[in-house]
Amino acid sequence: MLKNKNFKTILITGASSGLGRSLALNYAKQGVLLFLNGRDRERLLETVQLCESKGSKVIFQNLDVNDKSAMKNWIINCDKVSDIDLVIANAGISLGTSCKNDEFNDDFYNIFSTNIFGVLNTILPIIPRMIERKNGQIALVSSMSSFIGMPSCPAYSSSKACIKTLGESLRGYLKEYNIGVSTICPGFIKTPLTDKNNFNMPMIMSCEKASKIIIKGISKNKGLIVFPFIYYIILKLLRFLPFNFTNYIFSKLPKK
């Protein structure tokens, strides 16, 4: 199985800012080909220039992960240029603290569409090609909120729980084809997404630190990359408490 692998051809979604940009920059070096995707063209170009300054060759596409057809065409064309070693499905959204009852209308659908179908649009086109080669790695960015249903962010929490379960299932399914699957469940990371939050975020860490933890975990083909670990332990322990108690506690948290 894949262990401590050095990836040469990497595709990352949501690379225009935040964690996606940090991952791209930390992978960027001479001899590495990066395929980068993002919705904000101006910021994506900034990422591209930074990665190229570190010696990487970069091929980028400004498109929405919700566009199934465009994503499929782009990913297959990228794989024709060079066999993709690693795909990181990083693009995701939340509402921030500005949401009201609109969350239960279009915003709820938008979160599910990006956080679930955007991930499927990223990985489904490449899986058959990786199976044929019997080689590759897939990383799915979920969240610490996937471990307990969060009343403060029902759409985000449940969409990320879907991705965690998807990653766990795919890991076992794709193992026989020598394809690794890592599910990433971080706590709070300082990104433009979390900048929308106007509440205290415990143990928040920089994108730089988070990306280094993720890259190390992916290189070792860890099934679950979860951090901060103490936050994870607290959530696991809370699972043993009565549901009504934990549900009440989490319902008092600010909306995400």
Residue 19, domain member (yes or no): yes
User: Which CATH number do you get for residue 44?
Assistant: 3.40.50.720
Q: Is the pLDDT of residue 97 over 50?
A: no
Residue 245, domain member (yes or no): yes
Of residues 204 and 228, the one with the higher pLDDT is 228
Over residues 21-56, the pLDDT tens digits come to: 999 999 999 999 999 999 999 999 999 999 999 999
Residue 50, domain member (yes or no): yes
Per-residue pLDDT at 253: 62
Q: What pTM does this model have?
A: 0.88
27 closest CA partner among 90, 102, 93: 90
Residue 4, domain member (yes or no): no
**Residue 219 · residue 184 · CB < 8 Å:** no
Residue-range definition of the domain harbouring residue 128: 9-251
Over residues 151-210, the pLDDT tens digits come to: 878 899 999 999 999 999 999 999 999 999 999 999 888 776 655 655 566 667 898 999
Of residues 235 and 60, the one with the higher pLDDT is 60
Residue 1, domain member (yes or no): no
Q: Is the pLDDT of residue 99 over 50?
A: no
| Rounded mean pLDDT, 117-131 | 98
Tokens representing 161 are 């729980």
> Percent of the chain scored above 90 by pLDDT?
69
Residue 2, domain member (yes or no): no
Residue 182, domain member (yes or no): yes
Question: Angle 18-27/207-219 helices, nearest 10 degrees?
Answer: 60
Confidence of residue 8 (pLDDT cuts 50, 70, 90): very high
φ, ψ for residue 235 (rounded to 5)?
-65, -40
| Rounded mean pLDDT, 9-30 | 97
| Residues 25, 15: Cα–Cα separation, whole Å | 9
Phi-psi region of 12 (alpha: psi -120 to 50; beta: other; left: phi over 0): beta
Residue 94, domain member (yes or no): yes
Question: 3-state secondary structure string, the chain?
Answer: CCCCCCCCEEEECCCCCHHHHHHHHHHCCCCCEEEEEECCHHHHHHHHHHHHHCCCEEEEEECCCCCHHHHHHHHHHHHHHCCCCEEEECCCCCCHHHCCHHHHCHHHHHHHHHHHHHHHHHHCCCHHHHHHHCCEEEEEECCHHHCCCCCCCHHHHHHHHHHHHHHHHHHHHHHHHCEEEEEEEECCECCCCHHHCCCCCCCCECHHHHHHHHHHHHHCCCCEEEECHHHHHHHHHHCCCCHHHHHHHHHCCCCC
Per-residue pLDDT at 79: 98
If one counts the domains in the chain, the total is 1
Catalytically annotated residues: 156
Q: Is the pLDDT of residue 88 over 80?
A: yes
63 closest CA partner among 125, 114, 136, 138: 114
| Rounded mean pLDDT, 232-250 | 74
Pairing of strands 86-89, 57-62: unpaired
| Residues 154, 255: Cα–Cα separation, whole Å | 9
**Residue 206 · residue 190 · CB < 8 Å:** yes
Per-residue pLDDT at 233: 84
Tokens representing 197 are 């939050």
Per-residue pLDDT at 87: 98
Q: Is the pLDDT of residue 98 over 50?
A: no
